[in-house]
Structure 1
Amino acid sequence: MFTVHAIDAETLESVRRTGRDASGNAPEPWLAEGGEPVRCCLRDAEPGEQLLLFGFDPKLPPDSPYRELGAVFAHAEPCAGPAATGYPEGWRGRPQVLRAYDARGWIHPSTRTHDGTNPEAELADILAHPEVVRVDSRNIAYGCYMFTVTR
């Protein structure tokens, strides 16, 4: 069994309140065209939704050589968050990179791509490795962070 985590509410509130992202830059207002992956509620945006595009730090241990920042979309105003804690229904069938990490924040060899047809089985297989403490799903084309999975 595993839990899928969206971007945490504290990070989102900070970006909205301070007008600064993980790099200290101002988030870019974005009027959704539809289909943008929204990381606060783990679904694709509907046309016309008000979003923010900003740099996000998925918070690996600070001394990890694999720590990185990347652009993500979130709603400009607070939303209800994900509908469930399982794999996002609207993102099934979407090829992803499942990047596994150990407790040091180092990439684990069980990292792989998947075609989106059975993400639960792929995640269960990766999480079966006792050294793996988290898996980050990332977009294949852009490499952007999508969400985190933990046991």
Structure 2
Amino acid sequence: MNTDSSDVRSPVPYALRLIDPDLLASWRAEERPSEDVALVASGGERIRCCLRDAAAGERLLLVSYSPPLPAPSPYAETGAVFVHAEKCEGPERLDRFPPSWEGRPQVLRAYDERGCIHPATRVHEHGSTHDAVAALLAEPGVVEVHSRNLAYGCFMVAAVSGPTPSRRA
């Protein structure tokens, strides 16, 4: 896995792809599988519906999630993610990596159009995560990048090439 970002191409604009709102609604309506858990945040849990860390006392759901890939693939994975138990306002921006998550060690897993892991995949530990994601999306053949927690491997957020509104609707 490449850990050096000095050899990547010029960055491109990208959009963060969030968990489908209908799926979030079904989890919140308790139509979710019984292995999912409702809990009260200790503080610091990374919330995937609004792309920020939880404050102590917030009501969360810990759910099983399989982020979509560009195509059906043997690389599809399912893992645990935290979301708010009630509807939230979502992230402040969709055109940048969440500021509170910037610079945290993570795996930036690149995918090609077949849903296969691309060799541009890397561990990102220093510098701007936003710039690293944009540069990976500029690599030939990369169509999507997933940020994953370095220690646990949990999915954090997906990024795809292209412009997006800078603020939530």
Provide structure 1 residue ranges, at least 5 long, that are not aligned to the other structure.
Answer: none
1:110 equivalent among 120, 127, 130:
120
Aligned equivalents of 1:135 and 1:143: distance in 2? 14
Amino acid corresponding to residue 50 of structure 1 in structure 2: R
Residue-by-residue CA offset, 1:128-147 (whole Å, 9 max, x unaligned): 12311110000001000000
Provide structure 2 residue ranges, at least 5 long, that are not aligned to the other structure.
Answer: 1-12, 162-169
Aligned equivalents of 1:2 and 1:64: distance in 2? 23
Cross-structure match for 2:5: none
- State the TM-score, normalizing by the size of structure 2: 0.82
Query: What SS class does the counterpart of residue 90 from structure 2 fall into?
Result: coil
Q: Is the 8 A contact 2:105 2:123 kept in 1?
A: yes
Superposition misfits of 4+ residues, deviation over 4 angstroms: none
* CA shift in 2, pair 1:122/1:76, >3 Å: same
Bigger-Rg structure (1/2) = 2
- State the TM-score, normalizing by the size of structure 1: 0.91
Query: What SS class does the counterpart of residue 84 from structure 1 fall into?
Result: coil
2:89 equivalent among 73, 77, 80:
80
Q: What CA RMSD, in Å, does the superposition of the two structures yield over aligned residues? A: 1.5
Which sits farther off after the overlay, 129-138 or 34-43? 129-138
Amino acid corresponding to residue 45 of structure 1 in structure 2: A
Aligned length: 148
Within 5 Å, which residues of 2 pair with 1:5-84? 5-20=17-32, 24-60=33-69, 63-84=72-93
Amino acid corresponding to residue 93 of structure 1 in structure 2: G
Deviation at 1:62, TM superposition (A): 6.4
